[in-house]
Amino acid sequence: MIADQLRTRCAGNEVMAAVFLSPARPMPEVMLHEGTPDSVPLPTALILERGMHIGASHLLLIHTHPSGNPLPSAQDMIATRRLYRHLRSHGMRLHDHLILARERYFSFRMQGLL
């Protein structure tokens, strides 16, 4: 599972995975980006472009917090809202944004933020 693979990398830099889900493809496509120990870029335009190219209907965004604290930063909140709006304006849905931190996680959907 992609979450387990990312969690094993929690000791280093933040890692982001965009998991594209499409009814036309039996297996999701995954795009990975690695950042620094305390940030990872969220390439909104690239994510949108890739999703449109493969005909994705949904996206699951996952990133790690090596610090062990799964709570989203102010930048995480802003970037998630921006991505949500961009995807929605192109007919895609952000299913969830998960932040993994060692043994804990934060789900934007479960917290009512999506």
Strand, coil or helix: 54: helix
Which residue in the block uniquely carries the two structure tokens 């993994």?
100
Does CATH number 3.40.140.10 belong to domain 2-107? Answer: yes
pLDDT tens per residue across span 69-88: 999 999 999 999 999 999 99
Whole-angstrom CA distances from 93 to 15, 69, 101 are 21, 26, 24
Query: pTM for the full model?
Result: 0.86
Strand, coil or helix: 59: strand
Secondary structure letter of residue 75 according to DSSP: H
> What's the CA gap between 86 and 40, in Å, rounded?
19
> What are the extents of the domains in the chain?
2-107
Secondary structure letter of residue 68 according to DSSP: S
The series of mean pLDDT values per 10 residues for the chain, 114 residues long, is 54 84 81 81 89 92 90 94 94 95 91 94
